[in-house]
Chains A and B, each alone.
Chain A
Amino acid sequence: MSYREKENIINILSGLLITLIYGWVVLQRHLEGTIDLTTDYKTWGSVFLIFILVSIVARIIIYIIFHIINAIATREQRIPAEDERDKLIKLKATRNSHYIFSSGFVMSVMALAFGMPVYMIFIAFIIVGLISEIVDNGSQIYYYRKGV
């Protein structure tokens, strides 16, 4: 398995892990009554901003750990430089990811129009964001294996 494939698998797993843990923590705080996610939309803003920060910090830590383990296991110190094929694969994967996110966004807005509570759209954004990220990294793995 190439470095890029391993990197994408780590991205999928870390995305799932961070979202699930953060989602569980936020849900617990909501159930305890510390925050109210059904009517207070200002809290949703904070939840999203903190999620972005937590996600960045956690990913940096996970990426450093992955690089150290990979360097020990493969004895390859340097990260392979990105070439034209890597860039093309990334572009196609980003396109697929945007298709998913756009579809999810439209479906969320449609659900809102059909009477779904507003807070559900925020939950839908998190789920769609996670799915689109999985599609992005999954597409990259697919293109690396099957060709582009």
Chain B
Amino acid sequence: MGKSQIKNNIRRLRFNADEMTQQQLADAVGASRQTIIAIEKGNYSPSLELAFRIAHTFSTPLEEVFLYEHIEIIKKKK
């Protein structure tokens, strides 16, 4: 729950795609506008299938749409 480590460039990609609206993207990938908003904000990590559909809509590779931020968790030994 909360912010995930998966970041995305959907907002930028929408802007580059003739300022595509969230609703247009939602219709194109078969999701609700609320889901697109949640993905953009990083509040929801989509399924692999939905992620591929989003990438396909922008005609870009998946790794250009979604990025994984690896955070090292250092455990201090007592």
Give A contacts to B, CB under 8 Å.
2, 4, 80-81, 83-86, 143-144, 146-148
B34 on the A face (CB < 8 A) = yes
CB of B34 within 8 A of CB of A144, answer: yes
B30 & A148 in contact (Cβ 8 Å cutoff): no
Contacting residues, chain B, for A80 (C-beta < 8 A): 32-34
Q: Which B residues touch A83, using CB under 8 A?
A: 30-32, 35
Q: Separation in Å of the B26 CB from the closest CB of chain A?
A: 8
Secondary structure at the B interface, as helix, strand, loop or mixed, is: loop
Binding site for A on B (CB under 8 A): 1-3, 30-35, 38, 41-44, 46-47, 50
Number of residue pairs across A and B with beta carbons under 8 Å? 40
**A84–B31 touching, CB < 8 Å:** yes
Bound CA span A85–B38, Å? 9
- Bound-state CA distance A144–B41 (Å) is 13
| CB < 8 Å neighbour of A147 from B30, B32, B33, B43 | B43
